Amino acid sequence: MSENNPEIGRSIVAAGIRTNYHDMGNGFPVLLIHGSGPGVSAWANWRLVMPKLAEKCRVIAPDMVGFGFTERPQGYTYSMDNWVQHALGLLDALGLEKVDLVGNSFGGALSLALTIRHPHRVRRLVLMGSAGVHFEITPGLDAVWGYTPSFENMRKLMDLFAWNRNLVNDELAELRYRASIRPGFQESFAAMFPAPRQRWVDALASPEAAIRAIPHETLVIHGREDRIIPLETSLKLSQWIARSQLHVFGRCGHWTQIEHADRFARLVSDFFAEASIDEPHPLEGTA
């Protein structure tokens, strides 16, 4: 970890991309995939829960290509296919045959796609405030993806993310605004989700039949007051995935892992602790 910036962790080449990632703890590996907010990094997304999860697991949290401090190749195409390849490349580079997977928002959509396409690389799946199914884009998500850098705009976004007003202050908004204007950050972000943005909601979605065929034990988590990704997406996922359970946090927005960090970490740790290392995947005969 960098002494000057805790967002900078270790570095490894994954799928040909120099990748910034955090790696802490011991035990069965857990891959955390962050969301798609402006200026986001794995550290910003997961900083409160990584130490708690690392008490029982090996926690790996990368900056996905296009975000944070991972290399941004010139002319790179930001697509689900390429994000899946980047995630797989990281697992291969680290020599990880199978992981538990936690995806937040955009990261949930990516985790769904990775699980569907490479089921044997995933043991258990956690989807938190997840995209990955069709929904009518919310004004909140449209604002997030349409962000243009200013302190005022970032302050408005912070108000959308959190239900708990005590978590949102000018200091946090200033920190995230500064993160959003680092060299290359806004350029790649603006290139990902240009208007009209409903098409990017749909591009992140996996086919219903493929989601219904997921055999993995899955924990679906959502904040009841989420103004970015509607609660209906997690209700749908919990109905479609046969071996799923749903936990809805009341008095919580899109930041479950921040607004309810301790509860989130306990819930996820307990869910992973239920699994055996070679938990079977009944790929045939799923309900």
Q: Is 254 a catalytic residue?
A: yes
| Residue from 105, 111, 130, 180 carrying the catalytic annotation | 105
Query: What is the C-alpha to C-alpha distance for residues 133 and 196, in angstroms, rounded to an integer?
Result: 18
Query: What is the C-alpha to C-alpha distance for residues 98 and 73, in angstroms, rounded to an integer?
Result: 27
Q: Which residues pair with 13 in a beta bridge?
A: 18
Helix (H) or strand (E) holding 29: strand 29-33
- Contacts of residue 162, defined as CB under 8 A and 6 or more positions apart, other chains included, come to 168, 253, 254, 255, 258, 259
| Residue from 34, 216, 254, 260 carrying the catalytic annotation | 254
Q: Is 92 a catalytic residue?
A: no
Radius of gyration over every alpha carbon of the chain, rounded to an integer in angstroms: 17
Alpha helix stretches (DSSP H) within 118-207 = 139-145, 151-161, 170-180, 185-192, 198-204
Q: Is 226 a catalytic residue?
A: yes
Tokens of 125: 């799946």
Q: Please return the burial class of 21, using the count of CB atoms within 10 Å of its CB with bins 0-12, 13-18 and 19+.
A: buried
CB 30 within 8 A of CB 57: yes
| Residue from 63, 226, 234, 244 carrying the catalytic annotation | 226
Residues with catalytic roles: 105, 226, 254
